[in-house]
Amino acid sequence: MAVYRSKGIVLRSIRYGEADRILDLYTRDAGLVSTIAKGIRRTRSRFGGRLEPLSCVDFLAYEGRTLDTVTQVEVLRSFHGVREDLKRLEAAGGMVATVRALSGGDEADRRVFNLLYHALDALENRDSGFESVEAAFSLKLSTLAGYTPRLDACVSCERDLDEAFDGELPYFAPNLGGVLCADCRAAASDAFPLPPETLSSLQTLVARPIREASIEERLGESVRRVVSAHVLAHAPGSTVLVAPDKRTLRPA
């Protein structure tokens, strides 16, 4: 059995048997992996609290047919402040759901690992605007996954913003992956209008570092609608993106 060491962020922890836990981690070197930590729920477990959900860990494991077995763990960053605050935790849960929806394969992408790490860091180090971080994370992850939303021109006729949307509200078409002008709205049955300034807010979330993510309160609902619709439309198998399973963030 091949033994390997990697860094990973714990996405989900599920009780298994009498004392074990099955863990999903997004790793720096192997993408999304499923592992088992044997005996972790016993009082004298060598793992202690080192595999809490959302923790960034350095771990040693050996490969198995279906699950890899974790044998050693060192916590690099616990993100305790995210787990202990409900609003931060809800935003983190949404980010975990997006990772699972858009990065479900086993192909490694260090950019995804780094993005998730920095998003959790942003959640822990700010006092408000957690939904802004979640929205920015989903847009940036969509780009890394190859589903960059077209926000600079009509996705159908290719006219630029000033020409296509002069005096008229743009529409967002999730299945086409971008905005439509009023003349092209019939090109997508799922298109819905974007309130004023929503498009500008989306562009800003994409362009700025995730630590600077910010959405005006009056635009929050419309921005979140675009982001969730876009992720849902492009998740492999059209998996419905809903609130994360409670087991995702269950303490170890």
Burial class (CB in 10 A: 0-12, 13-18, 19+), 14: middle
Print the domain residue range for 219. 86-149+195-248
Helix and strand numbers, DSSP H then E, in the chain = 7, 8
24 in Cβ contact with 37 (< 8 Å): no
113 in Cβ contact with 9 (< 8 Å): yes
What residues contact 115, with CB distance under 8 A and at least 6 apart?
Answer: 137, 140, 141, 144, 210
Q: Is residue 163 part of a domain?
A: no
Residue 65: per-residue pLDDT = 87
| Residues 215 and 232 placed together within one structural domain of the fold | yes
Instruction: Give ∠ CA 134-205-218 in degrees, rounded to 5.
Output: 80
Instruction: Provide the token pair at 17.
Output: 């048997």
Residue-wise over 168-198: b if at least 16 C-beta within 10 A, else e? eebbbbbebbbbbbbebbebbeebeebeeeb
| Residues 139 and 212 placed together within one structural domain of the fold | yes
Of 58, 78, 98, which one is at a domain's C-terminal end?
A: 78
Distance, in Å, from the CA atom of 23 to the CA atom of 230, rounded to the nearest integer, reads 28
| Residues 136 and 41 placed together within one structural domain of the fold | no
Of 28, 55, 78, which one is at a domain's C-terminal end?
A: 78
For 106, other C-beta atoms within 10 Å of its C-beta total 11
Any idea what the CATH number is for the domain that residue 13 is in?
A: 2.40.50.140
Q: What is the pLDDT along the chain (252 residues), one digit of tens a residue?
A: 699 999 999 999 999 988 899 999 999 999 999 999 998 888 777 787 889 999 999 999 999 888 999 999 999 999 999 999 999 999 999 999 999 999 866 677 899 999 999 999 999 999 999 999 999 999 999 999 999 999 999 999 998 877 766 678 899 999 999 999 988 999 899 999 999 899 999 999 999 999 999 999 999 999 999 999 999 999 874 443 433 343 344 444
Q: Indicate the number of domains in the chain.
A: 2
Residue 252: per-residue pLDDT = 41
3-state DSSP helix/strand/coil % of the chain, to nearest 5: 40, 25, 40
- β partners of residue 78: none
| Residues 122 and 216 placed together within one structural domain of the fold | yes
Residue 246: per-residue pLDDT = 37
Residue 166: per-residue pLDDT = 66
Residue 34: per-residue pLDDT = 93
- Is pTM beyond 0.75 here? yes
Q: Which residue has the tokens 């993100």?
A: 79
Residue 136: per-residue pLDDT = 98
Distance, in Å, from the CA atom of 180 to the CA atom of 155, rounded to the nearest integer, reads 6
| Residues 104 and 58 placed together within one structural domain of the fold | no
Instruction: Provide the token pair at 196.
Output: 């004023």
28 in Cβ contact with 47 (< 8 Å): no
